[in-house]
C-alpha cells in the first residue's frame, strides 16, 4: 500500500510526506478519526515510509513498496515496526511495559523503531501514564503512532506530547461514487455510504450485506409505524444476541432516522425513502418525533458502550420509538401514567 | 541524528529561561540563595507548564559546582551531565511505571547511600500520582526525615490524587497555565531563533489553540513547520487545525436566526465535507453565542481579541435573539459538545443541536404565529399563547428581569436546605431536571427524554415535592414536573381550570381535535372560549 492509495486524506498525506522529506518527523503522532477512516492503513504506510530503504536525495516521501523493509512491513513481520492492540477490552500496563523495554533497544535493522498503538483510548490509566515518559523523550530513534476514534478519551497529558492528525471522514458522495465505480447499484451505494460514517471499508462491508439490512430496516420501520409492539419486542430479542450486532443495528437506526429527520426538516427525500416506501402510510414522523427518536438512539448507544443489558435496552428503545411514531402515550408506568 | 522536536530542543536550561512561572522560580531561587533547601518539593500544574523542566533546573542548581546556587552555571561537569541525563546522583523515576511498593522499598534502601560525585542525591519522581496507596505509605517515613543529602522532587498533573499525608510533607508549588500573550511572545522568540517566518496573527492562532500549554504550542509550531516549511502562513495553520473562521460562525447563526433548517443542515454537511472539525465548531459556536450574549447584556462593552469591524457585526446579530434564547442556546451547544466528545460520530449531535436552536428561536417568536393558526381554524377563536411573550414580560413592572437570576439562587438555596434536612433522594430527583422555570406561581421542572425514570419519580412524588417547595417558597407556589419540550402552562393549573368555560361540554371535544391538539402541543394553550 502507498500513500497514493489512501482515499480522501490528501491533507494528512501532504503533511506526513513533507515531514519525511524535510526530516522533521515528530516522535509521536495521535491519529484520530471515526472507525474505518483509514487510521491503520495510514499508520502502516507511514511506518513503511519511515523505514524505507529507497530514500535518496530526490525522494518524495512515498514508500517504494519493493525494498526488503517495505515488503516486511506489508507482511507484518518487520522487527522494528510493532503493532500493539488491546488484549481483550483494554491495553494493559504489562503491554506498555513490554513496549518500553523494546523501546530501550536500538532498531534492529531500520532507521526508526515504529510503535503503532491501535485503539489507544483503550489504554488503562496505568498504561497511559506509563507511556508518558517514552512519549516525551524516547531514548532512541523511535516514532509512536497512537490511533483512536475517541480523542476525548485520551489523557490530555498524552495528547499534549503528540502531533495530532485528524483523519478526514470521506464525504458521502465520494464513497457512493467509489462504490458505484465498483459496479454496485446506485441505491445500494448511496445507502451504504450513508451508513458508513465516512469509511470506505465499512461502506463496502455494508454494501455486501445490503439486501439483509434493507429488509430489516423496512420491516422495523413498518412495525414501528403500525405501533406493532410485539413485532418490535421480537426484533429486540433477535438483535441483542451480541454487542456488535446490537451496535450495528443501532447505527442502522441512526442512519435511518437521521434521514427521516432531515426530511421532516424539509430536505428532499433521500435514498432511504425509496427503501421504506412512500410517507403516506400513517406513521410519518414530525420533526420533534424524529429528534426524540434520535436522542433516544444516541442514549442507547452510550448505554450500550457502558455495558447496559442489551435486550432490555433495545426493548425500551423500541417502545419509545413506537410511541414517537403512533403519537400515543408511553406504556403505563414507563414515563407517565396514562390519562 | 534524528530530528529533535522543538519542545525538547528548547527546554530551558537556566531559571531565567523559564517563562511565566516567576512565582515558582523566584521562590526557589531565593530559597537557594539563603540555603533554605527543603527535603521534598511537589510541583503541580497542567500539562506543558514546566514542572519537569523546573525539577531538573532545581537539581542542577543544587548539584552545580558552585552550588547550591540561584542560577546554575550550565558548564561544570555536574550541570552538563544533568542536562544530558547522565548524572548518577540525579535519579529520575517515572512514577507511572515504577508504582508499586517493591520499587519504593528499593528506593528506600538506596536513599541511604551517599552521593557519588555531587553534594546531593536528588530524586525526581514524575507522574507521582500514579503510585499505589501502598507505595505512598511506604514512602511516608523516608519522606518525613530523609538523610541530609537527599532531596525529593515530585511532579504531577493531578495533585488531588496524592494522599494528604504526602502533601503535608512537601513544599507545594502550583504551576499555572500560560496566557495567550505569554505563549505568543515565547513562540515568536523561538521562531526567530529557528529562522522561521511567522506573522503575528499566525503566532496568535497557534497560541490560542495550545490551551495554556507551552509544549502543546511548540508541538503545534513543529507540525506547522513540518507541513509548510520555513514560511508558515495563517492559511496553513488554519488548514492544519481545521479551525472555523468567524465568517462560518456568523453564517451559521444567521441561518438559525432565519429559522432556515434546510439550509442549516446542508451547511453542516458542507462544513463537514470540507474537512472542518465539528467538535471544534460546536465549541466555537458556544463562545460565539457567549460573545453575542455579552454584547446583548452590556452593549457598551468592548470584547477583547475581537476586531472592531467584527464586533459591529456581532452586535447586529445579537439584536436578532432574545437573551433567553442565547442562554438556552449556549446550554444546547454545551450538551452537544459533550455528546460529540463521547460519540465517534460528530455530525448527528450537531444536527440535533441545530434543530433545537431553531426550535428555541421559534419558541421566542411563537406569539405572533398564533394569530395565523387561529385564523386558519375559525372554530377556535382564542388560543392564548401560554408562554408569556418575552417583550411584554419584560415591560410588565411586576416581572422585571432580575428575579430570574434571583430565582436561580433561591432554587440552589432550596436544594441546599433539602440536603440539610436529609432529603437527599428528593434533591437527586430535582437535580436530574433541566434548570427549573418559574411561570407565574408554578415552578416547572423539565426532564430530558433520557431522564424518564426521574420524571416518573417526580410525578409519583409530586405531592411531597410540592410540599417541600411550598415550605421554602411560600404556600402560593406549585410544582410541576414536565417532559422536555412540553410547554409549561402560563398560570397555575387551578386557574386554568377556572378559566375554561364551565358547562360548555364542547371544551373536551375541541381538545381532542387533532389540529387543536397540535396547536396546544406546539404553543401550549389555555382554552378560553369555544364558538360554534
Give yes or no: residues A9 and A155 share one domain. yes
Chain B interface, best mutation among A25, A129, A248, by max B CB count within 10 A: A129
B19, B213 contact by CB (below 8 A): no
Domains of chain B with bracketed CATH: 6-174 (3.40.50.300), 180-241 (1.10.8.60), 246-363 (1.20.272.10), 366-387+489-532 (no CATH), 399-486 (3.30.300)
Residue A34 has pLDDT above 50, yes or no: yes
| Count of CA atoms in the C-beta half-sphere (13 A) of B484 | 20
Residue A330: what pLDDT?
Answer: 45
C-alpha cell at A15: 503533511
For B365-479, where are the alpha helices, taking DSSP H only? 366-376, 390-395, 402-420, 424-432, 452-460, 462-473
Interface subset of A 222-261, CB within 8 angstroms of B: 254, 258, 261
Q: Are A219 and A125 within one domain?
A: no
Whether chain B has a CB inside 8 Å of the CB on A328: the answer is no
Residues A290-339: tens digit of each pLDDT: 888 888 998 898 888 888 899 999 999 999 888 888 765 544 434 443 43
In this structure, how many other beta carbons lie within 10 angstroms of the beta carbon of residue A181? 9
Whether residues A163 and B351 touch (CB distance < 8 A) is answered with no
Same domain, A111 and A222: no
Are A143 and A281 found together in one domain?
no
**Helix pair B462-473, B452-460: axis angle to 10 deg:** 70
Residues A139 and A214 in one domain: no
Closest Cβ opposite residue A157 in set B157, B261, B485: B157
Residue B422, pLDDT score: 75
Mind listing the pLDDT tens digit for each residue in A126-177? 889 888 888 888 878 899 999 998 888 888 889 888 888 888 777 778 888 8
Question: In the predicted model, what is the mean pLDDT of chain A?
Answer: 84
Around Cβ A1, how many Cβ atoms within 10 Å?
A: 15
- What pLDDT, on a 0 to 100 scale, did the predictor assign at position B402? 47
Q: Is the dihedral of CA B338, B343, B347, B352 positive or negative?
A: negative
What are the CB-based long-range contacts (under 8 Å, 24+) for B165-170? B165/B136, B165/B137, B165/B140, B166/B42, B166/B136, B166/B139, B166/B140, B167/B42, B169/B40, B169/B140, B169/B143, B169/B144, B170/B38, B170/B40, B170/B41, B170/B42, B170/B143
A183 falls within a domain: no
Contacts of A96 in chain B (CB under 8 A): 97
Tell me which chain B residue has its CA closest to the CA of residue A160: B216
Contact of B214 with B89, CB cutoff 8 Å: no
- What pLDDT is recorded for position B185? 92
User: Which position has the higher pLDDT, B503 or A199?
Assistant: A199
Q: Which pLDDT belongs to residue B370? A: 37
Hey, are the CB atoms on B448 and A301 less than 8 Å from each other? no
- Residue B405's pLDDT is 62
* Cβ neighbours of A326 in B, within 8 Å: none
Is A336 in Cβ contact with B456 (below 8 Å)? yes
| pLDDT score at B305 | 63
Contacts of A335 in chain B (CB under 8 A): 452, 455-456, 483
Domain membership flag for residue A259: yes
CB contact under 8 A, B456 and A335: yes
Domain count, chain A: 2
> Has residue A336 been placed in a domain?
no
Q: Using an 8 Å Cβ cutoff, are B262 and B356 in contact?
A: no
A275, pLDDT greater than 80: no
* Single residue among A166, A199, A224 that ends a domain in this structure: A166
Is the same domain home to A12 and A88? yes
CB contact under 8 A, A267 and B459: no
Tell me if A198 is assigned to some domain: no
pLDDT recorded at residue B485? 67
Distance from CA of B362 to the nearest CA of A (A): 13
- Chain A hits for B273, CB-CB cut-off 8 Å, are 171, 173
Cβ B452–A334 below 8 Å, yes or no? yes
pLDDT score, position B400:
42
- For residues A125 and A234, state if they share a domain: no
pLDDT number for residue B171 = 94
CB contact under 8 A, A133 and B343: no
pLDDT tens per residue across all 532 residues of chain B: 467 888 888 999 999 999 889 999 999 999 999 989 999 999 999 988 999 999 999 999 999 988 788 889 888 888 999 988 888 899 999 888 888 899 999 999 999 999 988 899 999 999 999 999 999 999 999 999 899 999 999 999 999 999 999 999 999 999 999 988 899 999 999 999 988 888 888 888 888 888 889 998 998 898 888 888 788 888 888 777 777 777 888 999 999 998 888 888 889 888 887 777 788 889 889 988 998 998 888 877 777 666 777 888 888 888 888 888 899 999 999 999 888 877 767 788 898 899 889 888 887 765 443 333 333 333 333 344 444 444 444 444 443 444 556 777 788 888 888 887 777 788 888 888 877 777 777 888 888 777 778 888 888 888 888 888 888 887 778 888 888 766 654 444 444 444 444 444 555 666 667 777 777 667 666 666 665 5
Residues A30 and A122 in one domain: yes
Same domain (yes/no): A104, A7:
yes
Distances (CA, A) of B127 to A128, A132, B155, B480, B488: 11, 9, 6, 50, 51
Identify the CATH number of the domain in which residue A26 sits.
3.40.50.300
The CA-atom distances, in angstroms, between B234 and each of A18, B228, B304 are 18, 11, 20
User: Given A96, A137, A265, which is nearest B265 (Cβ)?
Assistant: A265
Q: Which domain holds residue A127?
A: 3-166
What pTM did the predictor assign?
0.68
Q: Is A171 on the interface with B (CB under 8 A)?
A: yes
Instruction: For residues A159 and A294, state if they share a domain.
Output: no
pLDDT in tens, A225-259: 888 889 999 999 999 888 888 888 888 888 888 88
Segment 89-128 of chain A within 8 Å of chain B by CB: 93, 96-97, 100, 112, 125-126
- The answer to whether residue A178 sits within a structural domain is no
Same domain, A63 and A162: yes
The stretch A69-79 carries a mean pLDDT of 90
Cross-chain residue pair B452–A330, CB shorter than 8 Å = yes
Question: B-chain residues within 8 Å CB-CB of A292?
Answer: 449, 485
Residue A283 counted as domain residue? yes
Establish if A148 belongs to a structural domain. Answer: yes
Long-range contacts of B15-18 (CB under 8 A, 24+ apart): B15/B57, B15/B61, B15/B70, B15/B71, B15/B72, B16/B71, B18/B50, B18/B53, B18/B54, B18/B57
Q: Name chain B contacts of A136, Cβ cutoff 8 Å.
A: 8, 52
The torsion angle over the Cα atoms of residues B123, B127, B130 and B131, rounded to 10 degrees, is 10
| For residue A216, pLDDT beyond 90 | no
| A237 within a domain of the structure (yes/no) | yes
pLDDT at residue A22 tops 80? yes
Claim to verify: residue A139 and residue A33 sit in the same structural domain: yes
Q: Across residues A165-191, what is the average pLDDT?
A: 84
Residue A294 sits in a domain of what CATH number? Answer: 1.20.272
Q: How far apart are CA B222 and CA A26, in angstroms?
A: 8
Q: Residues 26 to 45 of A: which have CB under 8 A from any B CB?
A: 26-27, 34-35
Count of A-B CB contacts under 8 Å: 159
Amino acid at each position: 500500500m502507498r500513500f497514493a492509495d489512501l482515499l480522501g486524506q490528501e491533507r494528512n498525506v501532504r503533511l506526513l510526506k513533507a515531514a519525511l522529506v524535510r526530516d522533521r518527523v515528530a516522535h509521536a503522532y495521535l491519529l484520530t478519526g471515526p472507525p474505518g477512516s483509514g487510521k491503520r492503513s495510514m499508520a502502516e504506510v507511514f511506518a513503511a515510509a519511515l523505514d524505507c530503504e529507497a530514500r535518496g536525495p530526490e525522494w518524495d516521501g512515498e514508500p517504494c513498496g519493493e525494498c526488503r523493509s517495505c515488503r516486511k512491513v506489508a507482511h507484518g513481520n518487520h522487527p522494528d515496526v510493532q503493532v500493539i492492540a488491546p488484549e481483550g477490552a483494554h491495553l494493559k500496563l504489562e503491554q506498555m511495559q513490554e513496549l518500553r523495554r523494546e523501546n530501550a533497544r536500538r532498531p534492529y535493522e531500520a532507521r526508526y523503531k515504529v510503535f503503532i498503538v491501535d485503539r489507544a483510548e483503550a489504554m488503562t490509566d496505568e498504561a497511559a501514564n506509563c507511556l508518558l515518559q517514552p512519549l516525551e523523550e524516547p531514548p532512541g530513534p523511535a516514532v509512536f503512532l497512537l490511533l483512536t476514534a475517541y480523542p476525548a478519551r485520551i489523557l490530555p497529558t498524552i495528547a499534549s506530547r503528540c502531533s495530532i492528525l485528524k483523519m478526514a471522514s470521506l464525504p458521502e458522495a465520494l464513497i457512493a461514487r467509489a462504490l458505484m465505480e465498483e459496479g454496485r447499484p446506485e441505491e445500494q451505494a448511496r445507502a451504504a455510504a450513508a451508513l458508513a460514517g465516512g469509511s470506505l471499508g465499512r461502506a463496502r462491508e455494508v454494501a455486501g450485506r445490503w439486501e439483509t439490512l434493507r429488509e430489516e430496516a423496512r420491516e422495523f420501520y413498518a412495525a414501528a409505524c403500525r405501533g406493532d409492539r410485539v413485532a418490535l419486542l421480537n426484533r429486540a430479542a433477535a438483535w441483542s444476541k451480541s454487542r456488535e450486532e446490537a451496535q450495528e443495528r443501532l447505527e442502522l437506526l441512526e442512519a435511518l432516522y437521521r434521514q427521516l429527520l432531515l426530511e421532516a426538516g424539509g430536505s428532499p427525500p433521500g435514498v432511504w425513502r425509496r427503501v421504506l416506501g412512500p410517507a403516506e402510510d400513517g406513521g410519518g414522523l414530525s420533526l420533534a418525533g424524529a429528534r426524540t427518536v434520535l436522542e433516544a438512539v444516541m442514549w442507547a448507544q452510550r448505554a450500550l458502550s457502558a455495558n447496559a443489558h442489551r435486550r432490555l435496552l433495545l426493548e425500551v428503545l423500541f417502545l419509545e420509538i413506537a410511541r414517537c411514531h403512533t403519537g400515543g402515550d408511553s406504556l403505563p408506568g414507563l414515563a407517565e401514567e396514562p390519562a | 541524528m534524528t530530528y529533535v522536536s522543538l519542545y525538547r530542543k528548547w527546554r530551558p536550561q537556566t531559571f531565567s529561561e523559564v517563562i511565566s512561572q516567576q512565582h515558582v522560580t523566584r521562590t526557589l531561587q531565593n530559597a537557594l540563595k539563603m540555603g533554605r533547601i527543603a527535603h521534598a518539593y511537589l510541583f503541580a500544574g497542567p500539562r506543558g507548564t514546566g514542572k519537569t523542566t523546573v525539577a531538573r533546573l532545581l537539581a542542577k542548581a543544587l548539584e552545580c559546582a558552585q552550588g547550591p546556587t540561584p542560577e546554575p552555571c550550565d558548564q561544570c561537569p555536574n550541570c552538563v551531565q544533568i542536562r544530558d541525563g547522565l548524572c548518577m546522583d540525579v535519579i529520575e523515576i517515572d512514577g507511572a511505571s515504577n508504582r508499586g511498593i517493591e520499587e519504593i522499598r528499593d528506593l528506600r534502601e538506596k536513599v541511604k547511600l551517599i552521593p557519588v560525585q555531587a553534594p546531593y542525591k536528588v530524586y525526581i519522581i514524575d507522574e507521582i500520582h500514579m503510585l499505589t496507596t501502598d507505595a505512598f505509605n511506604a514512602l511516608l517515613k523516608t519522606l518525613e526525615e530523609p538523610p541530609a543529602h537527599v532531596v525529593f522532587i515530585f511532579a504531577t498533573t493531578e495533585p488531588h490524587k496524592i494522599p494528604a499525608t504526602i502533601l503535608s510533607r512537601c513544599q507545594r508549588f502550583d504551576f499555572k497555565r500560560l496566557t495567550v500573550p505569554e505563549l505568543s511572545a515565547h513562540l515568536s522568540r523561538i521562531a526567530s531563533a529557528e529562522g522561521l517566518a511567522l506573522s503575528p496573527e499566525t503566532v496568535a492562532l497557534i497560541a490560542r489553540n495550545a490551551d495554556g500549554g507551552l509544549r502543546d504550542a511548540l508541538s503545534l509550531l513543529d507540525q506547522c513547520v513540518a507541513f509548510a516549511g520555513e514560511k508558515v502562513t495563517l492559511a496553513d495553520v488554519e488548514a492544519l487545525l481545521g479551525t472555523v473562521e468567524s465568517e462560518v460562525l456568523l453564517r451559521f447563526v444567521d441561518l438559525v436566526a432565519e429559522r432556515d433548517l434546510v439550509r442549516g443542515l446542508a451547511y453542516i454537511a458542507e462544513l463537514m465535507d470540507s474537512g472542518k472539525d465539528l467538535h471544534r465548531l460546536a465549541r466555537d459556536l458556544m463562545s460565539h453565542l457567549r460573545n453575542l450574549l455579552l454584547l446583548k447584556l452590556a452593549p457598551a462593552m468592548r470584547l477583547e481579541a475581537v476586531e472592531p469591524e467584527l464586533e459591529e457585526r456581532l452586535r447586529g446579530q445579537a439584536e436578532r435573539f432574545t437573551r433567553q434564547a442565547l442562554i438556552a442556546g449556549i446550554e444546547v451547544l454545551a450538551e452537544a459538545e459533550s455528546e460529540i466528545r463521547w460519540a465517534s460520530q460528530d455530525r448527528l449531535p450537531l444536527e440535533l443541536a441545530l434543530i433545537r436552536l431553531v426550535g428555541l428561536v421559534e419558541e421566542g417568536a411563537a406569539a405572533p404565529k398564533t394569530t395565523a393558526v387561529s385564523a386558519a381554524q375559525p372554530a377556535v377563536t382564542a388560543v392564548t399563547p401560554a408562554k408569556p411573550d418575552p417583550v411584554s414580560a419584560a415591560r410588565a413592572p411586576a416581572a422585571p428581569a432580575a428575579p430570574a437570576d434571583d430565582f436561580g439562587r433561591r432554587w440552589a438555596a432550596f436544594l441546599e436546605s433539602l440536603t440539610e434536612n436529609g432529603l437527599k433522594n428528593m434533591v437527586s430527583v430535582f437535580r436530574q431536571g433541566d434548570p427549573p422555570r418559574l411561570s407565574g406561581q408554578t415552578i416547572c421542572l423539565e426532564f430530558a427524554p433520557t431522564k424518564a425514570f426521574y420524571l416518573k419519580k417526580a410525578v409519583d412524588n409530586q405531592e411531597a415535592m410540592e410540599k417541600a417547595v411550598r415550605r421554602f417558597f411560600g404556600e402560593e407556589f406549585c410544582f410541576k414536573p414536565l417532559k422536555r419540550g412540553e410547554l409549561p402552562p402560563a398560570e397555575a393549573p387551578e386557574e386554568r381550570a377556572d378559566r375554561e368555560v364551565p358547562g360548555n361540554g364542547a371544551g373536551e371535544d375541541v381538545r381532542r381535535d387533532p389540529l387543536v391538539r397540535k396547536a396546544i402541543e406546539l404553543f401550549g394553550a389555555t382554552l378560553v372560549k369555544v364558538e360554534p
